[in-house]
Amino acid sequence: MTLLCVPIFFDSLEQTARDVALAAEAGADVVELRLDRLTQGVALPQYPVPVIVTCRPEWEGGESTLPDGERIALVEAASANARYADLELATLRRHPDARTFLAERLIVSAHDFKGRPDRLANLVVEMNAGGGDVNKVAWMARSIRDNLEAFELLQTRQKPTIALCMGEAGLISRVLAKKFGAFLTFASLRDESATAPGQVTVHDLKRLYRWDVIGARTKVYGVVASPVVHSMSPAVHNAAFDQTGHDGVYLPLLVNPGYESFKAFMESFVPFEGLDLSGLSVTLPHKENALKYLREKGADVEELAASIGAVNTITIDRSDRRLPLRGLNTDYGAILDSITDTMRISRDALGDLRVAVIGAGGTGRSAVAALAHYGATVVVYNRTREKADALAAEFNGRTGRVVAASMDKLCDSCCHVFINTTSVGMHPHVNESPLGERAPKFTPDTVVFDAVYNPMKTKLLRQAEAAGAKTIGGVEMFVRQAAAQFEAWTGTKAPSDVMRRVVEQRLLHSAR
Ligand code: ATR
Please check whether residue 55 lies inside any domain of the structure.
Answer: yes
Last residue of a domain, one of 295, 328, 361: 328
Last residue of a domain, one of 328, 355, 370: 328
Q: Which atom of ligand 1 is nearest to the CA of 451?
A: 3
Verify that 109 and 97 share a domain, yes or no: yes
Strand ranges of the sheet holding 470-472, from the earlier edge strand across to the other edge: 402-405, 377-381, 354-358, 417-420, 447-450, 470-472
Close Cβ partners of 273 (under 8 Å, ≥ 6 residues apart) = none
CA of 332 to the centre of ligand 1 (A): 18
Q: What pLDDT score was predicted for residue 101?
A: 81
**Dihedral, CA of residue 495, residue 496, residue 502 and residue 505, to nearest 10:** -140
Q: Which atom of ligand 1 is nearest to the CA of 387?
A: 18
Verify that 268 and 126 share a domain, yes or no: no
Q: Which atom of ligand 1 is nearest to the CA of 363?
A: 4
User: pTM of whole model > 0.85?
Assistant: yes
Domain with 270 in it: what CATH number?
Answer: 3.40.50.10860
The CB density around residue 401, as the number of other CB atoms within 10 Å, is 16
Verify that 451 and 343 share a domain, yes or no: yes
Terminus-to-terminus CA distance in the chain, angstroms? 39
Verify that 198 and 280 share a domain, yes or no: no
Verify that 307 and 447 share a domain, yes or no: no
- Nearest 5°: the CA angle 177, 253, 482 is 110
Residue whose Cα lies nearest atom 6 of ligand 1: it is: 361
Q: Name all residues whose Cβ lies below 6 A of ligand 1.
A: 359-364, 382-384, 387, 421-424
Q: Which of 297, 347, 363 is nearest to 327 (CA)?
A: 297
Q: Which atom of ligand 1 is nearest to the CA of 284?
A: 2
Residue whose Cα lies nearest atom 5 of ligand 1: it is: 361
Last residue of a domain, one of 312, 328, 344: 328
Please check whether residue 65 lies inside any domain of the structure.
Answer: yes
The CB density around residue 354, as the number of other CB atoms within 10 Å, is 15
Q: Which of 191, 34, 187 is nearest to 109 (CA)?
A: 34
- Ligand 1, pocket-test mutation among 284, 383, 454, 477, most atoms within 8 A of CB: 383
Please check whether residue 477 lies inside any domain of the structure.
Answer: no
Beta bridge partners of 313: 281, 328
- Ligand 1, pocket-test mutation among 231, 357, 408, 422, most atoms within 8 A of CB: 422
User: What one-letter code names the amino acid at 240?
Assistant: A
User: What range does the domain containing 35 cover?
Assistant: 3-216
CA of 350 to the centre of ligand 1 (A): 25
Verify that 266 and 166 share a domain, yes or no: no
Verify that 239 and 308 share a domain, yes or no: yes
CA of 486 to the centre of ligand 1 (A): 28
Q: Which atom of ligand 1 is nearest to the CA of 364?
A: 4
Give the helix, strand, coil percentages of the chain, each rounded to 5: 40, 20, 40
Residue whose Cα lies nearest atom 8 of ligand 1: it is: 361
Q: What pLDDT score was predicted for residue 100?
A: 81
Mean pLDDT of the chain: 96
Q: Which residues of 60-73 are buried (b: 16+ CB within 10 A; e: fewer)?
A: bbbebebebebbbe
CA of 368 to the centre of ligand 1 (A): 15
Q: Which of 144, 141, 98 is nearest to 120 (CA)?
A: 141
Residue-wise pLDDT tens digits, 16-41: 999 999 999 999 999 999 999 999 99
Domain with 424 in it: what CATH number?
Answer: 3.40.50.720
Residue whose Cα lies nearest atom 29 of ligand 1: it is: 383
Q: What pLDDT score was predicted for residue 104?
A: 87
Beta bridge partners of 186: 5
CA of 362 to the centre of ligand 1 (A): 9
Close Cβ partners of 497 (under 8 Å, ≥ 6 residues apart) = none
Residue whose Cα lies nearest atom 31 of ligand 1: it is: 422
How far apart are alpha carbons 446 and 229 in whole angstroms?
37
Q: Kindly name the residue from 136, 178, 286, 459 that is annotated as catalytic.
A: 136
Tens-of-pLDDT digits for all 512 residues of the chain?
A: 999 999 999 999 999 999 999 999 999 999 999 999 999 999 999 999 999 999 999 999 999 999 999 999 999 999 999 999 999 999 999 999 988 888 889 999 999 999 999 999 999 999 999 989 999 999 999 999 999 999 999 999 999 999 999 999 999 999 999 999 999 999 999 988 788 888 899 999 999 999 999 999 999 999 999 999 889 999 999 999 999 999 999 999 999 999 999 999 999 999 999 999 999 999 999 999 999 999 999 999 999 999 999 999 999 999 999 999 999 999 999 999 999 999 999 999 999 999 999 999 999 999 999 999 999 999 999 999 999 999 999 999 888 899 999 999 998 888 999 999 999 999 999 999 999 998 778 999 999 999 999 999 999 999 999 999 999 999 999 999 999 999 999 999 999 999 999 999 999 988 77
Verify that 272 and 168 share a domain, yes or no: no
Task: Judge whether 111 counts as a catalytic residue.
Answer: yes
Verify that 354 and 259 share a domain, yes or no: no
Q: Which atom of ligand 1 is nearest to the CA of 407?
A: 29
Q: Kindly name the residue from 219, 237, 287, 373 that is annotated as catalytic.
A: 287
**Angle subtended by helix axes 496-511 and 233-244, to nearest 10:** 140
Verify that 48 and 81 share a domain, yes or no: yes
CA of 459 to the centre of ligand 1 (A): 17
Domain with 143 in it: what CATH number?
Answer: 3.20.20.70
Q: Which atom of ligand 1 is nearest to the CA of 358?
A: 14
Q: Which atom of ligand 1 is nearest to the CA of 429?
A: 27
CA of 361 to the centre of ligand 1 (A): 6
Please check whether residue 510 lies inside any domain of the structure.
Answer: no
The answer to whether 398 and 374 are in contact (CB under 8 A) is no
Domains contained in the chain, number:
3
CA of 450 to the centre of ligand 1 (A): 13
Please check whether residue 481 lies inside any domain of the structure.
Answer: no
Q: What pLDDT score was predicted for residue 198?
A: 85
Residue whose Cα lies nearest atom 1 of ligand 1: it is: 362
Q: Kindly name the residue from 36, 276, 331, 450 that is annotated as catalytic.
A: 331
User: What one-letter code names the amino acid at 111?
Assistant: H
Q: How many CA atoms lie within 13 A of 422 on its CB side?
A: 22
Please check whether residue 224 lies inside any domain of the structure.
Answer: no
Residue whose Cα lies nearest atom 26 of ligand 1: it is: 424
Q: Kindly name the residue from 111, 246, 416, 470 that is annotated as catalytic.
A: 111
Please check whether residue 75 lies inside any domain of the structure.
Answer: yes
Q: Which residues of 200-213 are buried (b: 16+ CB within 10 A; e: fewer)?
A: bbbebbbbbbbbee
Q: What pLDDT score was predicted for residue 76?
A: 93
Verify that 337 and 454 share a domain, yes or no: yes
Verify that 18 and 156 share a domain, yes or no: yes
CA of 360 to the centre of ligand 1 (A): 7
Please check whether residue 316 lies inside any domain of the structure.
Answer: yes
Task: Judge whether 287 counts as a catalytic residue.
Answer: yes
Residue whose Cα lies nearest atom 27 of ligand 1: it is: 424
- Ligand 1, pocket-test mutation among 423, 450, 459, most atoms within 8 A of CB: 423
CA of 285 to the centre of ligand 1 (A): 15
